[in-house]
Amino acid sequence: MSDADNQTRSIISSEVEIIGTVKTSGSIQIEGRVEGEILSEGDVLLGKSGSVKGNLRVNSVTVAGTIQGNIQAKDRIELKSTARLLGDIKSKRLAVEDGVTFVGNSEVNPTGQPIKIDEEAPRGGSDNEGRKEGQPQPQGGNQQGNPGQQGQQGRK
């Protein structure tokens, strides 16, 4: 990591717990616990010890900890092998390491149109708090044309 990145990166250390919305124009590293929304125009790094209960609307995010909420990333989402994600994701690019736990919907289409981040909070963020593992729920309003899923629902 370059020095320039360090200068603009905020860090929430593992002893810190935040309840509320975190909004930053730069990058942020989360090692603690956040209960609320995270809005970042930069990159978000969620460390192994970090956990977020709420939605993320970011430029890019790397997840090694736990997220219970939806992720919308303009550029890229990366899930490390220790990541645990209960929620939906929407991004242009995705990289996933083997070993993740992921229950939710994914909408990643690298060849499609660029992802437009909603100005309002993504729907269903609070719904995920009550989501049970093993029962992924449809993304609803965020769902665009998906012939594969439509076809299967018809078959089932």
Partner 1 sequence: MASKKTKVVDGFTAIRAAQEAARHGRGDPVRPEPGAEKSAAGPPSKAGSRVGRTVMPTKREIICPECGLPTEITGKVQLFVCNHCRHRMKLQDVEMPEGDWKDDLEVGGTVIVPTNATLAGGKITANDIVLQGKMNGGEVRACRRLTMGADAKPDWVRLKTLDLELGAGVNLTPGKPIEGRHLNLHGKFSGNAILTGTLTVHADGDFSGKLRAAGLQVEEGGGLRAQLDVKPEYAPPPPKPKNRPPPKRPSKLREPPPKARPSEPRKKEGS
What single letter denotes the amino acid at residue 120?
E
Q: Which lies closer to partner 1 via its Cβ, residue 3 or residue 98? A: 98
Kindly tell me which of 18 and 103 has the beta carbon lying closer to partner 1.
Answer: 103
CA–CA–CA angle 131, 139, 43 (5° rounding): 90
Binding to partner 1 in span 129-148, by CB under 8 A: 133-134, 136, 138, 146-148
Cβ atoms < 10 Å from Cβ of 133 = 9
Question: Which residues between 19 and 58 bind partner 1 (CB under 8 A)?
Answer: none
- Piece of 35-43, 61-69, 95-103, 119-127 that binds partner 1 (CB under 8 A): 95-103
- Residue 115 binds partner 1 (CB under 8 A): no
Q: Which residues fall within 8 angstroms of residue 145, CB to CB, at 6 or more apart?
A: none
Specify the amino acid at residue 35: E
